[in-house]
Amino acid sequence: MSKNISYLFVLLAALLWGSIAAIGKLLLADLDNFQILFFTIFFAFISLFFIVFFQKKISIIKSYTKRDYLTFAWMGFLGIFFYPFFFYSALQLLSAQEAFIINYLWPIMVVVFTVLILKEKMTLKKIVGIICSFVGVIIVITKGDFSSLQFGSTTGILFAITGAIAYSLFSVFDKKQNYEKFTSMMFYYLFSFFCALIAVLFFSKIPMISTYQLIGLIWLGVFVNGLALAFWFFALKYGDAIKMSNMIFLTPFISLVYVHFLVGEKILASSVIGLMVIVTGIVIQSIGKNLPSKKLEIH
């Protein structure tokens, strides 16, 4: 297969991932975050099961041990349940563009946790990248007005940052694993589904959903969490990992387009500037380095 197909795959992944904030914001008008998690995780698991089945990877499951399933359980809770719970909670309190951009701190937090957990060396380049990205977040949450320091929703900002921390930890721990990508992600979603089921039964209820809501939930579950992940893995398989990882930085900018046209939010100049500063920080710390070949969904 031509390497050029990798650009199509990564573009499709970015287009799908970029829609999560806008579609999530629309669904939150009628559903709560527990209900959205319950349905999207279920649909994502189903889509990943069919991907694993049609790729004839079911046999790989036989090699997994009880310890592997325990890993799938806590990793699924951290990255597939805990992270989106805080992301959707932030979406309830912030504008879609604010929640998504602040959440995009996760790549730079991966750098911090690889130093703290994996004992990688902290370099001047990494320090500059971290500072740059945090300055970008400050621009977004203050809307560029540093003198007044008026925040939209402090709780919403904390939710978005907590989600970013959870996903960065998930990404760092996933780097230590050596599981087959699709089967491991399928089990992450399976175990997180049980978490979502318990949560929705205890803190909310399983609602009757409209056709409109069903379309949105299927979009997030099947396309954003399922197909987008497959497109990303195929992009890494057939293309250059560094080029693909750089192209995925299109995702937050694509998200602003969705937010404007689907949600009707006015895109603030401070959001665009802050996002550019954040991405610059991510790129700075990534220069001359083989970027991780695993971008888990998100997000």
Q: What is the pLDDT of residues 244-280, one digit of tens each?
A: 767 777 888 889 999 999 999 888 888 888 888 888 8
Q: What is the pLDDT of residues 156-207, one digit of tens each?
A: 999 999 999 999 899 888 878 888 989 999 999 999 999 999 999 999 999 9
What number is the average pLDDT over the span 283-289?
67
3-state SS, 262-287, equals HHCCCCCHHHHHHHHHHHHHHHHHHC
Contact 190, 45 (CB under 8 A): yes
How do the domains of the chain map onto residue ranges? Answer: 5-286
Looking at the chain, list the stretches that DSSP marks H as alpha helix, in order from N- to C-terminal side.
5-17, 20-27, 33-54, 66-76, 83-93, 96-103, 106-116, 124-142, 154-175, 181-203, 211-218, 228-238, 241-247, 250-258, 269-286
Mean pLDDT of the chain: 86
Check residue 146 and give its pLDDT.
58
Q: What is residue 57's predicted lDDT score, i.e. its pLDDT?
A: 92
> Using 50, 70 and 90 to split pLDDT, how confident is the model at 45?
very high
- The Cα–Cα gap between 216 and 58 comes to 29
> Is the predicted pLDDT of residue 22 greater than 70, yes or no?
yes
Task: Report pLDDT for 296.
Answer: 44
The answer to whether 184 and 177 have CB atoms below 8 angstroms apart is yes
Lowest mean pLDDT segment, chosen from 109-113, 142-146, 262-266, 294-298: 294-298
pLDDT of residue 31: 96
Between 266 and 146, the more confident residue is 266
Q: Name which of 118, 119, 102 is nearest 153 in CA terms.
A: 102
Instruction: Quote the pLDDT of residue 292.
Output: 45
- 76-103 residue pLDDT tens: 999 999 999 999 999 999 989 888 888 8
More confident residue, 155 or 174: 155
Look up the pTM and report it.
0.86
